[in-house]
Amino acid sequence: MAKFIKIKKGNVTKSNIGELVFGADQISFVKQGPATGAADADNVTLFLNDGSIVTLEDAGNAAAGPALTSGINNALTANPGGVLAFVDLPSTVLIDTIAVTPA
């Protein structure tokens, strides 16, 4: 059975994007900060199995990076796991930039 993680719309400020849903089995690695370089305080990078990279950022919140990283990792390892696990984020984390680098 497929498992997914979801970031609620309340944590996404992009007007043309609703909730973010990722296939849990498609995420190979979660890193605080950009794809290359040192950890950054306001973003998280998801490395997907197909070689693509997704970076989520809250530019106005220096505490967002650790919260995003922890929330995503907790959703990925949720036990008991169901079909859908929610990424639990503080209401102060508002994703305002979503960058996708294709494989």
pLDDT band at 70 (very low <50, low <70, confident <90, very high): very high
CA angle 47, 34, 103 (to 5 degrees): 40
- Cα 68 to the center of its chain, rounded Å: 6
Residue 88: what pLDDT?
95
pLDDT, tens digit, for every residue of 42-64? 999 999 999 999 999 999 998 89
pLDDT band at 79 (very low <50, low <70, confident <90, very high): confident
Domain ranges of the chain: 4-101
Spatial CB neighbours of 92, under 8 Å, sequence gap ≥ 6: 61, 63, 64
